[in-house]
């Protein structure tokens, strides 16, 4: 089953918090040390963009990271020094790294970095560069990145052969028009897919433990409600789980995650997870002919046993580290709610409902207002219709 760190709820919110947290510790750029370190970071960034290994190594540290980046198509790379702390042997710099992947990111992706510095003969050098506090690794820190370009996708992998990555690109390329057919053209129609070497490496990209993502085939990272200038999301695949799926499952997963990329700007803190995940599953299964009994086996068993859910799942039901059955039923419940809306009110009404909920300024009242304005229903009536739909489709 596809999961998501998507949403400014986990990764996106963490990034925002990190950025806000650094702003109050900005260095005095007029100071000689801060000014010299800023110059060092500028030379390091220029070396990365110019693909100048000699200039990069002149800034210090290992050249491995430089080599690992060789195939990543970068259009920008810039450090912003936010804090400089002197140590007994040198200094520790905290910086925001802004970078863009050419052809995909409309605005920079920002990650926090920590750099250990030394001073020799009056000059500063980088001894080591690593993720900032509570931040995840970047793919190139895990090994040499192989890049494969699809017609509508860019797949970046570590520890993966080119032929294997091309298969990922083929699924991603098919996902984009499928999502456009459901959501419309109000997004760039491109997707970046990251394929680390293992579940452990996937979790490291997310700054989490591997146990949180066992059995999760893929997630999407990004800041919810980012608007038209927000950077592109990243779909992160867990190869250990994804590769166990058949072609049908692999396509559904990447279509699901690509839906999160397309809908991210219309998704906000007002959007409940049953709607964002249910809509992504609806797009993933749309046009496949997959029946509710086959696509919602956990919920099917519950309904057949007379245990029809009283209400749609809350956000807590979508936690990756909880009961796997509960998680499956949460996804299945959201999917069937969206499927019901599309069948009974039309696909355009489902899209309008999604957008209306996300446009709300707060969670309270968002679903109720959208139900009334788009579907002409109250929350109680909608829940009753959904429960009847479960009995009819799964009973």
Fold category of 26-141 in CATH: Nuclear Transport Factor 2; Chain: A, (3.10.450)
Residue 323 is predicted with a pLDDT of 81
| Max Cα distance, the chain (Å) | 78
Pairing of strands 153-158, 191-195: parallel
Backbone angles phi, psi at 115, to 5 degrees: -125, 125
User: pLDDT by residue for the chain (395 residues), tens digit each?
Assistant: 443 344 333 333 222 222 223 333 344 434 689 999 999 999 999 999 999 999 999 999 778 889 999 999 999 999 999 999 999 889 999 999 999 999 998 888 999 999 999 999 999 999 999 999 878 999 999 999 999 999 999 999 999 999 999 999 999 999 999 999 999 988 889 999 999 999 999 999 999 888 888 889 999 987 665 544 455 589 999 999 999 999 999 999 999 999 999 999 999 999 999 999 999 999 999 999 999 999 999 999 999 999 999 999 999 999 877 788 999 999 999 999 999 999 999 999 999 999 999 999 999 999 999 999 999 999 999 999 999 999 999 98
Q: Sketch the domain layout of the chain as residue ranges.
A: 26-141, 268-395
94/96 Cα distance (integer angstroms): 7
Three-class secondary structure of residue 18 per DSSP: helix
Interior angle at CA 311, CA 309 and CA 313, nearest 5? 90
Handedness of CA 337, 341, 344, 346 (dihedral sign): negative
Residue 242 is predicted with a pLDDT of 96
Residue 102 is predicted with a pLDDT of 94
Interior angle at CA 47, CA 41 and CA 51, nearest 5? 155
Residue of 218, 103, 197 whose CA lies nearest to 146: 197
Residue 221 is predicted with a pLDDT of 86
Calculate helix-pair angle for 324-345, 297-304, nearest 10 degrees. Answer: 90
Q: How distant, in Å, are the alpha carbons of 28, 35, 60, 124 from that of 82?
A: 9, 12, 20, 17
Could you count the other beta carbons within 10 Å of the beta carbon of residue 20?
9
User: Is the separation of the CB atoms in 142 and 155 below 8 Å?
Assistant: no
Residue 5 is predicted with a pLDDT of 47
Residue with the two structure tokens 């490291």: 204
User: Is the separation of the CB atoms in 318 and 285 below 8 Å?
Assistant: no
Residue 304 is predicted with a pLDDT of 96
Calculate helix-pair angle for 273-285, 324-345, nearest 10 degrees. Answer: 70
Cα-Cα-Cα-Cα torsion 184, 222, 342, 189, nearest 10 degrees, comes to 20
Three-class secondary structure of residue 30 per DSSP: coil
Q: How far is CA 211 from the centre of its chain?
A: 18
The pTM for the full model equals 0.88
């Amino acid at each position: 089953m596809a999961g998501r760190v998507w949403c400014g709820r986990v990764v996106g919110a963490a990034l925002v918090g990190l950025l806000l947290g650094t702003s109050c510790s900005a260095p005095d750029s007029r100071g000689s040390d801060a000014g010299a370190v800023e110059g060092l970071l500028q030379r390091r960034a220029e070396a990365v963009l110019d693909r100048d290994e000699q200039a990069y190594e002149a800034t210090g540290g290992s050249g491995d990271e430089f080599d690992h980046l060789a195939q990543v198509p970068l259009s920008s790379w810039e450090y912003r020094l936010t804090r400089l702390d002197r140590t007994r042997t040198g200094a520790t710099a905290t910086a925001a790294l802004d970078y863009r992947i050419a052809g995909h990111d409309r605005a920079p992706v920002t990650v926090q970095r920590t750099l250990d510095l030394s001073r020799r003969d009056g000059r500063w050098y980088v001894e080591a560069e690593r993720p900032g506090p509570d931040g995840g690794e970047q793919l190139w820190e895990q090994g040499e990145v192989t890049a494969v370009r699809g017609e509508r996708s860019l797949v970046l992998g570590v520890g993966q052969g080119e032929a294997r990555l091309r298969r990922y690109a083929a699924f991603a390329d098919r996902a984009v028009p499928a999502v456009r057919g459901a959501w419309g053209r109000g997004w760039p129609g491109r997707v970046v897919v990251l394929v680390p070497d293992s579940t452990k490496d996937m979790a490291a990209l997310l700054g989490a433990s591997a146990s949180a993502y066992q059995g999760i085939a893929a997630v999407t990272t990004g800041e919810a409600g980012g608007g038209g200038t927000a950077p592109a999301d990243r779909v992160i695949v867990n190869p250990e789980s994804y590769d166990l799926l058949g072609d049908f499952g692999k396509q559904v997963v990447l279509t699901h995650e690509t839906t999160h990329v397309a809908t991210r700007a219309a998704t906000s803190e007002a959007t409940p997870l049953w709607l964002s995940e249910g809509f992504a599953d609806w797009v993933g299964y749309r046009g496949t002919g997959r029946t509710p009994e086959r696509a919602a086996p956990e919920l099917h068993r519950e309904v057949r046993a007379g245990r029809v859910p009283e209400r749609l799942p809350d956000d807590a039901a979508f936690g990756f580290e909880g009961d796997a059955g509960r998680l499956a039923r949460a996804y299945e419940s959201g999917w069937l709610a969206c499927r019901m809306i599309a069948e009974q009110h039309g696909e355009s009404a489902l899209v309008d409902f999604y957008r209306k909920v996300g446009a709300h300024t707060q969670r309270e009242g968002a679903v109720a207002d959208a139900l009334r304005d788009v579907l002409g229903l109250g929350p109680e009536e909608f829940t009753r219709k959904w429960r009847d739909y479960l009995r009819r489709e799964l009973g």
